[in-house]
Structure formats: C-alpha cells, structure tokens
Structure 1
Amino acid sequence: MGADRERGDRRTPARAVAYAACGVVLLAGCASMPDSGDLRGVDSTPGQDTQVRVFAMPPRDDAPPSEIVQGFLEALTSDDPSYSTARQYLTVNAARTWEPEKSTTVLADGPGSEAVPAGGREEGEDYAFTLTGTKVATVDDQQSYTPASGDYSQPVHLTRDKKTEQWRIDVLPQGVVMGKSDFQRNYMSVNKYYFASNTTSAVSGQPMTVADPVYVRERVDPMTQMVRSLINGPTSWLRPVVRSSFPTGTALQKGVTALTPDDQNKLTVPLNDKAARIGQDKCDEMAAQLLFTVQGLTPTVQEIALRADGRQLCSLAEEESSAVAARGSETHPDNLYFIDGHHQLVRMASSAGGDAKAEPVPGALGDGTKPVRSVAVALDEHQAAGVTVDGKNLYVTSTVAGSPLGDPVLQSAGKTEDDRLTTPTWDAQGDLWVADRNPADPRLLLLQKGRGEPVKVLTPRLDGRINAVRVAADGARIALVVDKDGKQSLLIGRIERAAGSDDKPSVSVQELRSATPELEQVRAMSWAGDSRLVVVGQESGGVEQVQYVQCDGSIPEAGTLPGLTEVTSIAASEDSEAPLFATSKDGLLWLPGGSGWRTLKETASVAFYPG
C-alpha cells in the first residue's frame, strides 16, 4: 500500500499508530505492531498474510487539507467492509452520496494529489486538489475488470466545517481509486459460473459451464461477495451467451450477512422465497453453479445445500456435480499431440509427462498418407482435422487405423502459404473452426461436426487479419490472434449463435476485447483454464516471454513462467493438472512443476492438446 502512494505526491509523514487484536490491524499512513520497543511507521502494508485485516485510522483533529486527502486515499485501501473510516474524511452530505462500490480505478502508481492554485489557503474556508495518475484498469459495479490507459485527473474539494472547524472533503469522484500494487493486495480474481445458452457437451449432452471472472475484495468476506455476485447474474459482456438457473429476484435470505462452510465442508445457502418453488433439476443446477464458484475460493467445500421457505430445497455433493453440468477444466486429455519432423501426427500419453514415448496417431494424418503442417484433435479424441503443408487444404478424418481420408472439406485460394488456412480448432459441440487468411476473401469459418458447407462467422468491428484461432471448451468464447500493421494482439470474443436459413446457424463473434494490452507481439497462445490462457509474446522493445493471462485482460499474481526463445507453439489444457509443453528451435519442451523447461528427445514443430 505504501509503495504506491510514495510514488504519488506524498507530503504528509506517516502518522502511524498501530493497534493489533484478533488479527485486525489499524493504521494511519501504514503501520505495524513491533515485537518490542516503540510503535513506529513502516513504508508498506503487512498485507501478504491473508489472516490479517488492515483498517485505516480516522482523521485526527486539526489535520490540514493535504493530510485529509492522503488519509482518505489510505482508507480506500483498507479492509473496512463499508468504508466507514473513509467516510469520516467526508462531509455529512458527501458521505451520504458517495458510492464506493460503483467502480474501482486502478493506476500504475498510487494517486498523486496536486493542490489547485486557485483552491484557497489553509486559513480560508475551502481548498481544492486534483488527483492524478496513469490508468491501468477499471473494475465496474458488476466487479468486471477492463484494461484502461490514459491520464487520470479528478477534482477533490475540501471545506471547513462551520461547527467543528475541521477540514472535510465535500466534492470527490464516485468509486474508489488506488495504485496497481494496492489493487493486487486488496482484490482477487475469482470465477463465477453460468451455463452456455446454446452449447452442450458433444460427449455427455449436458450443459456447458462458462466462467465469468470478477474481482472481489480479498479479505472482506469474499465467499459471501461471490455468492451475491453469482445470484445477481452474469456480467454484461457475457450475459448474451449464458443463462443462470437462479429465478429472477432470487437473493440471499433477509438477515444473512455471512456464509461459512460447516466442519463437514458443507456450505448451506439460505435464499428468499423466489427460489422456494423450483424443481429438482433447476435446484441441482443452482447448487452446481454455487459449488463451482465457491471452490475457486475454498477448494475444500465439498457440498452445497440450498434452503428457502424454512426447508431444504436440495443438496449437491462434489462427486454428483459431473452429472449436472460439464466443465472444460474437468476433462482430462488422454494424449498430447504434435507434428514430427516428417509432417506426421504423433501422440504420447499426457499423464506420463516428459517420460512418455511418442507413437503415430492411427489414420491418414499419422501414417504419412497426407503430410500436414497443423492439426486439431477433437475433445473426444476420435476425430482430427489437418491442414496440408502448403496451407491450402483442410481434411477431417477419424483417428482409427484404416479410416479413409476423403476429399478436403475446405480449400483456400490464397496465393501464398501465409495467406491460407490457420490451425483449426474444435469446440465442445464437436464443431470445427478455422480462418482463411486469403487477403481477397478473409473469413472465419465454422464446419458443423467438421463437415458440410462452411458457415461464415460474422466478425463485426474486427480490425485486422486473423492469424490464429482457439475456441474455449465451453463454446461460448473464442481467442483470436489478430495482425494489424505488424502488431499481433490476442483478442477474446463472445460467440453468439442463432437460428439461420437452410438449417444453417447464424454465428457471430461479438465485442472483441484485448487480453494482452501490454504485449505488442503475440506469437502463440492456448487456453489454460476456465478463464485463463497461456501466451508467448513480447512488449515493445522487450524480450519474448511466456505468461498466463486472464481472458478479461488482467494478469494473475503468478503469471510469468520460465522464459523461452523462438517459440513456435505452446500446448496447455483447460485442465490445469495437465503439464505444459512448447516447441521451439530446440524441439519439444516440457515444463515440470516448479522447475525450468526440459528439452525432450522428440522432434516437433507444433504441439497441442485436444480442442
């Protein structure tokens, strides 16, 4: 906390008094409780221990305007659930109208405070400041994260209370503002789960769950925050393609302020009467949504019970959830696939990591009948789609020995290899996606079940040429690497499907947003979790790096991975237990947990998991 604001216009010394009791720390500036000796101020918040809650001190008597502003900014970064201490820095009217939950603005450094020349003098009756900084992101009232850029400049006005003669803030921006490191200390990213509106698993026929990442305050009862957020519904960006099983108007039962699992790792959620008359199937789906959501916070939760109208509606245990809904992250791939030095498709058991032995995949793509430069294997691993070495033809065939290759299902008329077909990708419904990069007719295409007449996917407001495509296992989101003026960016879009003509669906990719705003060149990417991707890229003037990113454009706390050079592909699974692989000039590489990359004996140009 202190590190951010030290880089701002910090003119008030840390007036620190610390009080610790039952895991609670009170501070002004930032302070800690020493083991012995006098109390003293420190430069950073002891916020790494999640059991410690940090609270700011209220304003002291006769504090000057500059100290009032800085104390207020300090209070915004505390763990006060309702910002009651921050409100003490405001006038009565400002405290009543200020809405801290409306938004959070994240700055590169802590907000600076610049006195406005015409703002008055401390011996006068009013004083003005401007809060300044460089924007990094915003979190809206739905707790949705969006990368941002540009200058931040907001006015703050103070007045002297006529009765108490104390300075208080009477004009301020809505929401809260803080530096990046304070945000990372105070907030955590958690997925809440909904069901894809128009996508079911091709394997089980069950509804597919879709992760909706939001940011919650880490030490302010995040479990209750997440349950409320889940019940309130999906964020605006995801809402058009998902549904929730919670009936409209459902809320926590009146008077419920905190939710805690019992000693049997069972979480009971009391709901209002809007949920009292739901059927068993809907209740199970609601419980599954809650279970998947709270396990992101507390993995030990093993059962969800729902109550309303004084009775239990249903109960769902972890082992029963797979019969209710399908999750991409719960599907473990049997094999890792790669293309060897002879342009043939080979595979090895994913569970064996770097000790596995590769073998050709049965069928025409693995026996040398049709050399390929890129391949995608369906999630059930029964079909494969391969693009020929010249990038011109796309074939779909079975992974069973002796299966006929047949004719290509798609051909590109691009004049060069780089102007033809991208690597294809399969979704959970068993549909195949690929982009044709022909400058004369660039298209994103969908082949239902990997065959038939391709459906042209509409891509409104897409600015640039698609170089890579990867559909999330849920079938509701798609990742695209898009080239514009030599810059390659990773964009995430929402897949919308509707009934079309001639039995063909109408499919579009809407509201593309950047997942890597800080990277200028994205060279490879793969989904690596319900809302996470692994990316190979570099910043302007920087070196190539491998890192995890969230699909909302934020970066996880442990985002950076050991570096590689000249990477040609990265292989990750939405099942986080599957090991990470990559290919580079050195061949096939494997990243065991907690160590660096290891080079394997196999020769490979491209590596990938099913999907």
Structure 2
Amino acid sequence: MGADREGGARRRPVRAAAYAVCGVVLLAGCASMPDNGDLRDVESTPRQDTQVRVFAMPPQQDASSTEIVQGFLEALTSDDPHFDTARKYLTTAAAKTWRAESQATVLANGPSIQTTGRPTDQDDANSITYMLQGSRVATVDAEQAYSPSDGAYRKTVHLTKDGKSRQWRIDSLPQGVVMGKSDFQRNYTSVNKYYFASDTSTEGTGQPVAVADPVFLRSRVDPTTQLVRALLNGPTTWLGPVVRSSFPTGTELKKGVSGLTPDDQNQLTVPLNVKASRIGAAKCTEMATQLLFTLRNLTPTVDSVALRAVNGAHMCDVNEEQAANTAWRASDKRPEYLYLLDSKHRLVRMATDGTVTSPVAVPGPFGAGTRPLGSVAVARDERTAAGVTGDGRSLYVTSLTSDGSLGAAVLTSHGATAADRLTAPSWDARGDLWVADRDPGKPRLYMLAQGVGQPLAVQVPELNGRIQDVRVAADGARIALVVEKDGKQSLLVGRIERTKSDDQQEVSVLELRSATPGSEEVTAMSWAGDSRLVVVGREQGGVQQTRYVQVDGSTPDGPAPAALTGVLAIAASEDDRVPLVADSQDDGIVRLPSGDQWQKVVKDGSAPVYPG
C-alpha cells in the first residue's frame, strides 16, 4: 500500500472464494478444523482479479462451532461496509458491543485457530473457547494510522449454543478485526490526508505548507466518503501537535451523505454541516485545497472540489491551479536542476528536463571550487546552497545566483576523523538548514534558521544512538534520521516541534518511530514523496537493496526500483516525475527513468542531490 505512488496507479488485489456472480465473490467458511486441538492455519487468500468485490456468506444452519469461528474470520476480510454479515456470527449482545472499526491487527499469515484443550469455568456442553494465534506485523488504530508491530498474537474467542435455536454463536471476542497480511493488502489502501504546518509558511511566498498524514482506508467500501470523513476528523495523534486544519472544529459531512463521486466535469461536491457555514472566503479556499490535495491522492481524475453549506448554498470551489496558488506542497514542485559534485569536488548541475546532458558548474564559490566539498544541499528555491568540506569539518552557506567570496564557516566540527564530523546538510521549505555533528564527544543535531546565524542545538530526547544522516521533510514538520546503535543503522522519522521561551526559539524532534522495521543496516535515504522515502540498506543476512518505505513503516504499492549494486548515495524528489539518481561504486552517477533501467550520467562524480 502506498500513499505516494507514481501516476496514481493502484494495485487492488482481491481474494478468490466460493463463487462469483457478475463480479461479486461470496465467502463461506470452508476450511476444515477439528475440535481436538490441532493447529490449522487460516490461509490468507492470494491476490487475483482486481475487479472482483468480495462479500461474506452468513452462518449456515447447524454449523459447528469451528465453522462459526472460521466463517467469522472470513467475513472480516470481505467488502461488507459495516461488517453486518460478520455480526451474524455473534450473539445479539456481542454484536452490539463489538467495535470492528476500533483496530485492525495484521498478522504475517491468517490467524491459526486452536481449541484451548480444556474447558474454562464457563465452558460446558453448550460453550467452547478457541485461541486465535499468529505473528503480528502491524496494527491500524481507530484513527486509521498504521504502526509496525511484532511479537505473538494470542486472543480468545468464546462461543455459546443458543438455548432455543441450538445454533452456535460467538459471545466474547477481541475488539477490532484481525487478518493476514495478504488480506490486509487487498482490503486496505494507504492514502495521504493533508493539513497545514502550524505557524509555518514557505520562504518567499508566505504560503501555508501542506503536510501529508497517511492513513489506511478500506479500499472498496466507499473510499471517497471514508477519506473525506477521515480528513474532517482531524490529523492523527502523532502529527497533530505540528499541523492545523482549516476546517472549523466539529465540521462533518451533512447528515446522511455517502457515496461521494465526481460529476462528469470531474468536480467533487462536498456538502458540510452547519459548523462550516460561517467562514470567510480565504478560509473556505484553504478547506477546499485540503480536500483537493487529499482526494487527488486517492482519485487523480478529480480536477476540482466544491463545498456546499448545509442548506445547499455554494460556499467555494477550487481547481488544481487555485490550490497550488493557495498552499505549497512539495510533490507539486518540480526541481529545476539535479546537483552533484564533479571529480574536483566542485558543485555542478544538470537540468531535470533532460535538455542538458553534461553538468555545468553553478555560479558562485561552490562552482568555482573555492573549497573542495564532500556533500551539499540546495535550498528549495535553488538560490542558496550549503556544503560540507571534504574532511567533514566545516559547513558553508553561499549564493547560487551570483559570484562572491565564500565567507566564514557557519559551523565547525571537532571530531577526530571525517566519519566523526558533519553529516550532509538538508533544507526545508521554510529556508531552515539542518545538519548533525557526529563528534562522539559532543554529538548534536543542529538547525540554522534561514541558513544563517547561530546554529541552534535541537533536542532529541528519545534518541538512542548517534545520527549518521539527516533529511528534513520539505514541510519542516518531520525529519528522517539514520541512527547508529551497536553496529546497526536504523531509519527513524520524528516530529519537529518549535516553541518560544523568553524570545528564544526551542526546537525538538519528538516521538521517533521506525520507518524500516527489520532492517539491519540503512546506508542511504532520501524523501521520495510527501510521505514516502527511498532507502538503500539490507536486512539481517540479506544483500543490499533499494526500496520505498512510508513514513509510518508500511510498504507502498508498486515495484521497488531496479536493482543496482554498490550504491553509495541516493537522490529523489518529492515530485515522482523526476527520476531517481544514485551514486554507484561501479558506474558513477546513474539515473532511473520511470519504468526503465539505470542509465549512466556521469562517470566521475559524487553526492547527487535534488533541492532539499
């Protein structure tokens, strides 16, 4: 699943089941399972025809207790909007208290089912308890936020036989749903909601900055309406402290609205409740922009969004061009150049449109080679660059629009070796510059406001290890860090919080979470979408590979980049129309056009980067 995906393409795998009529598949609990306590896996169904929808079968008359449990688990993986069929496997009381939407637990395979082997205090001839077991992969919470998970899953399901009908039904069960990974991939899709960074605007334009908040939706259960409701409900808990929504508190869809679809002009009309009725034109435009950014991530054919008041009155509408003029979003900003260091460690660039096939030196001291560089970062407006010297000791900031002297270093490391000194720098859309000092005696993450002035030490209270690489998200609300601990290098994503105390700015990176669970070594990474990164690394016992990951630790839809050996660095843009670029130990600077193989660009070069 992936909220960032090229061209909006989606794979929608669907399970095979009992029989299909007019593209609808019905599920019946058909796996055998004896009552003697033997373990049997409930197999996740393989992916098949993408056009087939899946509906569950209700319990059969006189079904055994094992068939009831099996049928219930099958029903959880269907496209039943409100799990009404699954509730038919429960007693009336259990059906009223079971909250299917409270959580989805994802297992490596479908849950195994086992009788407990001995009766509980409440078990008798008319009741029985089963154990659901498996290896956890992830959970999706009530906010629809994904979190990687591991360890054993063990939950009990208790059944009772109705005194009148003599039919088995489940009367006690865990809240939420549980399914294998392949069923989860068929049932759910990852989509970005969009909010605005709190108290943040882009350097120069002053536009609010859009921040992606990925969530998982049931992909065949009115996903457009689901997504609009999710956006109106507000950001997830993890992102909430650093973003704002333009929708007034309490804004919801007009009562009874469902089945939202674009009209024949590709405009989606969204009717809202009374909470949104007293807003100004500017606020309404921001609201519509949030919706358009969000909806185009799910349905790229939506060209515009119109908001309607509870009484049906027109509030405002926004098309793609108006949305781009209202808010700044990284994935909409195609960089003008790719930048790299030539064989003499000077900064050179190539146009991303392919009109220039040989790199040329940038204007200013970095292009002139005043100081040999080891790594660089170019500001989002491509007017300023930051560079770390080849020995890793000094950080310089200079103009890319005019010649002039380099000036003094803005930050110096006192580490003993280059590996113990400064990392490559990174810019956000605010114009702030980020870099880490790897000096074992004083390891720090620094931020330089607007790339000048006194470096500010950033607090990272949960950091357990030493930062080896830094890439700040364009939105300035999130940051990706490669952190080394006990010989392992992990990719962590944290939330950036800015506060003021006695006129002094304080910056912290909080709630670090892994974006690459299971990885043993991450050697290079870059942002490759509003909520996606491209990562070079290896899992324990594996070989180096390049793959995409989501900031929440999930795996995006679509294939991984073509294999490439000896990758030293990787560069990507949030705009996925721009090809990946890598520094290969064997082939030099190479790029990967969409759907193609790696192509050589420059034999003698290093440290490729796009702006950011």
Shorter-chain TM-score: what band?
over 0.9
The within-5 A match list for 1:115-514 is 115-119=115-119, 124-310=125-311, 311-352=313-354, 356-501=357-502, 503-514=503-514
Relative to structure 2, which stretch is displaced further, 478-487 or 591-600? 591-600
Distance 2:526 2:326 in 1: 27
Distance 2:169 2:185 in 1: 29
Amino acid at match of 2:293: F
Aligned length: 585
Higher relative contact order (CA 8 A, sep 6+): 2
Match of 1:605, SS state, is strand
Amino acid at match of 1:322: A
The match for 1:82 is 82
Distance 2:123 2:49 in 1: 39
Amino acid at match of 2:153: Y
Relative to structure 2, which stretch is displaced further, 205-214 or 396-405? 396-405
Are residues 30 and 202 of structure 1, via their aligned partners in 2, closer, same or farther at CA, if it must alter by over 3 Å?
farther
Q: CA deviation at 1:564?
A: 1.7
Distance 1:452 1:178 in 2: 53
The match for 1:8 is none
TM-score (normalizing by structure 1): 0.93
Amino acid at match of 2:219: E
Distance 2:506 2:602 in 1: 46
Gaps of 5+ in 2: 1-14, 32-42
1:114 counterpart = 2:114: yes
Contact 1:107-1:178 at 8 Å conserved across structures: yes
Match of 1:287, SS state, is helix
Distance 1:16 1:259 in 2: 29
Are residues 415 and 584 of structure 1, via their aligned partners in 2, closer, same or farther at CA, if it must alter by over 3 Å?
same
Distance 1:192 1:280 in 2: 22
Contact 1:108-1:133 at 8 Å conserved across structures: yes
Amino acid at match of 2:335: P
Please list the CA deviations of residues 405-459 of structure 1 after superposition, one character each: whole Å capped at 9, or x if unmatched. Answer: 0000110111111111000001101111100111111110011111111111110
Please list the CA deviations of residues 459-496 of structure 1 after superposition, one character each: whole Å capped at 9, or x if unmatched. Answer: 01110000000011111100000000010000000000
Q: CA deviation at 1:24?
A: 2.5
Q: CA deviation at 1:18?
A: 2.4
Q: CA deviation at 1:600?
A: 2.5
Contact 1:335-1:609 at 8 Å conserved across structures: yes
Relative to structure 2, which stretch is displaced further, 581-590 or 121-130? 121-130
Contact 1:344-1:371 at 8 Å conserved across structures: yes
The match for 1:581 is 581
The match for 2:67 is 67
Amino acid at match of 1:125: N
The match for 2:55 is 55
Q: CA deviation at 1:30?
A: 7.7
Are residues 283 and 30 of structure 1, via their aligned partners in 2, closer, same or farther at CA, if it must alter by over 3 Å?
farther
Contact 2:420-2:440 at 8 Å conserved across structures: yes
Please list the CA deviations of residues 226-285 of structure 1 after superposition, one character each: whole Å capped at 9, or x if unmatched. Answer: 000000100000000000011111111111122111111111111111101111011001
Contact 1:284-1:316 at 8 Å conserved across structures: yes
Match of 1:553, SS state, is coil
Amino acid at match of 1:93: A
The match for 1:24 is 24
Amino acid at match of 2:387: G
Amino acid at match of 1:181: S
Please list the CA deviations of residues 139-193 of structure 1 after superposition, one character each: whole Å capped at 9, or x if unmatched. Answer: 0000000000000000011111111111111111000000001000110000000
Distance 1:601 1:575 in 2: 22
Amino acid at match of 1:174: Q
Distance 1:264 1:47 in 2: 33
RMSD, matched Cα: 2.0
Distance 1:48 1:537 in 2: 31
Are residues 44 and 148 of structure 1, via their aligned partners in 2, closer, same or farther at CA, if it must alter by over 3 Å?
closer
Contact 1:198-1:497 at 8 Å conserved across structures: no
Are residues 123 and 498 of structure 1, via their aligned partners in 2, closer, same or farther at CA, if it must alter by over 3 Å?
closer
Distance 2:44 2:520 in 1: 33
Match of 1:262, SS state, is coil
Distance 1:601 1:361 in 2: 16
Distance 2:45 2:517 in 1: 29
Distance 1:114 1:589 in 2: 53
Are residues 19 and 558 of structure 1, via their aligned partners in 2, closer, same or farther at CA, if it must alter by over 3 Å?
closer
Q: CA deviation at 1:123?
A: 9.0
Gaps of 5+ in 1: 1-13, 32-42
Distance 2:516 2:20 in 1: 41
Amino acid at match of 2:186: R
Identity %: 60
Relative to structure 2, which stretch is displaced further, 515-524 or 598-607? 598-607
Match of 1:351, SS state, is coil
Amino acid at match of 2:522: V
Q: CA deviation at 1:17?
A: 4.5
The match for 2:5 is none
Distance 1:253 1:180 in 2: 35
Distance 1:44 1:398 in 2: 56
Q: CA deviation at 1:330?
A: 0.8
Distance 1:261 1:400 in 2: 45
Contact 1:48-1:185 at 8 Å conserved across structures: no
Distance 2:25 2:567 in 1: 47
Please list the CA deviations of residues 557-588 of structure 1 after superposition, one character each: whole Å capped at 9, or x if unmatched. Answer: 22522122221110100111111100011201
TM-score (normalizing by structure 2): 0.93
Match of 2:518, SS state, is coil
Match of 1:119, SS state, is coil
Distance 1:162 1:329 in 2: 61
Distance 1:449 1:401 in 2: 18
Distance 2:239 2:79 in 1: 29
Please list the CA deviations of residues 80-123 of structure 1 after superposition, one character each: whole Å capped at 9, or x if unmatched. Answer: 00001111111111111000000000000110001111138999
Distance 1:481 1:517 in 2: 13
Match of 1:319, SS state, is helix
Match of 1:467, SS state, is strand
Contact 2:44-2:183 at 8 Å conserved across structures: no
Contact 1:457-1:506 at 8 Å conserved across structures: yes
Contact 1:336-1:609 at 8 Å conserved across structures: yes
